[in-house]
Chains A and B, each alone.
Chain A
Amino acid sequence: MNTARLNLILILTALACALSTVNANHRARKLFTELEAAQKRTRDLDVEWGQLQLEQSTLAAHVRVEKAAREKLGMKPPVPGQISSAEPAPGK
């Protein structure tokens, strides 16, 4: 009689363990999918960063900046008489 009860308990325990394994596995896979998505996003962002860097350096190319400064803004390099240099005050 006692043996039969023990068996029942053991069977139920085994069943619970099995189900929790299934559950854990499922959760692991779901988390893994999320990890994958996050990693893909990292790669995509890295690619985008590269493209933005490229765009930035194209827009900030010295040729372009100089052209804009000279033609649009009418700027020109200073001649010696126009430059004055500031020295730090003594003791500072």
Chain B
Amino acid sequence: MKSIKFSRSPLLSERLPPWRQRLVLVVLLGAFVTLVARSLYLQGFDNEFLGDKGRARFERVIDISATRGRITDRNGDVLAVSTPVRSIWAIPEDAQLAPAQARSLAALLEMDVREINQKLASEREFVYVKRQLPPELADRVTALKLPGIHQKDEYRRYYPSGEVMAHMLGFTGVEDAGQEGIELAFNGQLSGKAGSRRVIKDRRGNVVEDVESIHPPQEGRDIVLAMDSKVQYLAYSYLKQALEENRAKAGGVVVLDARSGEILALANLPTYNPNNRFKLVGAQLRNRALTDSFEPGSTMKPFTVALALDEGKVRSNTPIQTAPGRLTIGTATIHDAHMHGVLTVAQVIQKSSNVGAAKLALSMTPQDMWNMFDSLGFGAPLKLGFPGEVGGRLRPAKTWRPIEQATMAYGHGISVTLIQLARAYQTFARDGDLVPISLARLEAPPLNGKQVFSAQTAHAVRAMLEMAVLPGGTAPKAQIAGYRVAGKTGTAHKIEGGTYANKYVASFVGFAPASDPRLIVAVMIDEPSNGKYYGGDVAAPVFAQVMAGSLRTLGVAPDAPLKPLVMTSAETVKEEM
């Protein structure tokens, strides 16, 4: 083949039309301008999409978890705390463990090998192998490097006091949200809000720069309760003992600080262990002192007497004829089991005479009595913010028949909760005034309460209540060595299906030291069925034990000489029902 040199190529001698050259130039220039314009546009105007793509290469959003606040008692003892735990879960399809691996996993988790193999043989895509393990143990599981076995961070709430404070604290459910008690009442403050932030990570996964915080996390706030865990323990253990001795169905104790209105203890039985909530039944969960109302019986008499004193109808030593031990109003008759004859107003409280209290009530107008009950806080919830709190029953004064007015004087036809009763006794423990009660610890006691009775009346009733616990009264078993005590028993028939049944509620409400009251203790025992059912026999000893222990724990100075107590006189006075 003959070759032709390029420079001599005949094609070169051919002249091309000049427009072709210009066309190529224009096309190339146009393409170049388009590229520049496009890059300017992407860089300057529509830069969001590519910017995001770029940031996605090095920026990460990290979730920041927030822990739930702690609950402590007034002295800082921890009552509820959340601590991180880890759950081990598996994808059964991926988790093909060699027998040796399965054995070492079982040994770490303290589980049976067969149980683990059974779980891993599941058809499902996700199974929990074991939940809520301590982090150290979970780390050792990680070290085994098993295929298909994963871990998940969770929080678990622990209640070190267990069943002693179960009703007050309540518990949290899944997702760490409060379900009962304080956990629910203060859920807003306790629960934190998880946050998230955007950071730049380097190639080793270390965070090197904080770009922005998307939602700042909000840690749950700690709650300091008014409760004193020692007083609570005393209340709980003595109540438990009394329930066993009297074979009672249920019971409750409330301890209030008379000066500040703080709830120092609140115990209910039956109870449950909040750390282990299998097989819970409704009866165990009830915080009876707040959510169940009952007919209080004679513990209401002091209020009737106080109103009569306040209105100037009678004085402490005014004689009242209670013979012949019954009082017929309309078709109904009120009885005293023992004939007392002429009693002074003070003795009506001391001996707990129904007829005497009824006669006093009938000397007053229904509206005045209703106003008194209402200002004492009966008939309406105390609004503590506690879930399920009830107000009891107080019917409007206009609907009262005379017999009802008379029975209300000694605590029938009206129902109250234990906490309402304890609070109403503030009027006698204080100078006739009421302060709000508080679940949380107060920095300073409330200054002035709402005056219900005059200070003079309060002191007169206090003296009568002191007589009731001395020999000759209904509750000598409520006495405490070294302290002057004042209080009142209550024994009421229970209503079942609209009529009064042969079942009882025994109660006692009192305060000490009587010279300068510091604590109010209310005790209620439901259906004592071991022979004894009077408030003075069943509830008063619990009161004395709880009160004595609490006064000693709180270091309250004795106001009476320390000498052995006289528990019984020749005739034990039984209160009327």
**A residues near B, CB below 8 A?**
28-29, 32-33, 36, 46-47, 50-51, 53-54, 56-58, 60-63, 66, 80-81, 83-85
User: Could you say which interface size class chain B belongs to?
Assistant: 20 to 34
Question: Which A residue sits closest to B160, measured CB to CB?
Answer: A57
Q: Provide the bound-state CA to CA distance between A60 and B480, in Å.
A: 28
A50 / chain B contacts, CB cutoff of 8 Å: 67, 70, 81-83
**Neighbour of A33 across the interface among B77, B208, B229, B558, CB < 8 A:** B208
Are B482 and A83 interface neighbours, CB within 8 A?
yes
Contact of B209 among A29, A46, A58 (CB under 8 A): A29
Instruction: Known pairs A80-B564, A83-B481, A85-B562; list 18 more (Cβ under 8 Å).
Output: A29-B208, A32-B209, A36-B206, A46-B67, A50-B67, A53-B81, A56-B78, A57-B77, A57-B160, A58-B160, A60-B77, A61-B162, A62-B230, A62-B237, A63-B233, A80-B482, A80-B563, A84-B562
Counting from the closest, the 9 A-B pairs by CB-CB distance are: A80-B481, A57-B160, A62-B233, A29-B208, A53-B78, A58-B160, A57-B78, A50-B81, A50-B83
Distance in angstroms from A81 CB to nearest chain B CB is: 7
Cβ–Cβ contact B83 & A54, under 8 A: yes
Which residues on B are within 8 Å of A, measured CB to CB? 67, 70, 77-79, 81-84, 158, 160-162, 164, 202, 206-210, 229-230, 233, 237, 481-482, 557-558, 562-565
The residue in chain B whose Cβ has the minimal distance to the Cβ of A84 is B562
- Select from chain B the residue with minimum beta-carbon distance to A28: B209
Taking chain A's interface residues, is the majority helix, strand, or loop, or is none over half, making it mixed? helix
B210 touches A32 (CB 8 A): yes
Q: How far is the CA of A57 from the CA of B83 in the complex (A)?
A: 14
Which of A28, A54, A80 is B78 in contact with, Cβ under 8 Å?
A54
- Complex formed: what's the CA distance from A47 to B557 in Å? 41
CA distance A32 to B210 in the complex (A): 8
Q: Give Cα A8–Cα B443 distance, bound, in whole angstroms.
A: 72
Q: Give the residues in chain A near B565, CB-CB below 8 Å.
A: 80
With contact pairs A29-B209, A80-B565, A85-B558 given, residues A63 and B164 touching in the complex (Cβ less than 8 Å): yes
Residue on B nearest A60 in the bound complex, by CB? B77
Between-chain CB contacts (< 8 Å), 29 pairs = A29-B209, A33-B206, A33-B207, A36-B207, A47-B83, A47-B84, A50-B67, A50-B81, A50-B82, A53-B81, A54-B78, A54-B81, A56-B78, A57-B77, A57-B78, A60-B77, A62-B164, A62-B229, A62-B237, A63-B162, A63-B164, A63-B233, A66-B237, A80-B564, A81-B564, A83-B481, A83-B562, A84-B562, A85-B562
Chain B residues with CB under 8 A of A47: 83-84
CA of A10 to CA of B233, assembled, Å: 80
> Once bound together, how far apart are the Cα atoms of A53 and B237, in whole Å?
23
Chain B residue at minimum C-beta to C-beta distance from A55: B160
Q: Across the interface, which residues of A come within 8 angstroms of B482, CB to CB?
A: 80, 83, 85
B229 to A, closest residue via Cβ: A62
Contacts of B230 in A (CB 8 A): 62
List of A residues within 8 angstroms of B563 by Cβ: 80
> How far apart sit A53 and B78, CA to CA, in the bound complex (Å)?
7
Determine the distance from Cα of A62 to Cα of B164 in the docked complex, in whole angstroms: 10
CB pair B558 A61 closer than 8 Å: no
Q: Would B562 and A80 count as touching, CB distance under 8 A?
A: yes
B contact residues around A58 at 8 Å (CB): 160
The smallest C-beta distance from A50 to any residue of chain B, in angstroms, reads 5
Which of B160, B208, B209, B562 lies in contact with A54, CB distance below 8 A?
Answer: B160
Q: Using Cβ atoms and an 8 Å threshold, which residues of chain B touch A63? A: 162, 164, 233, 237
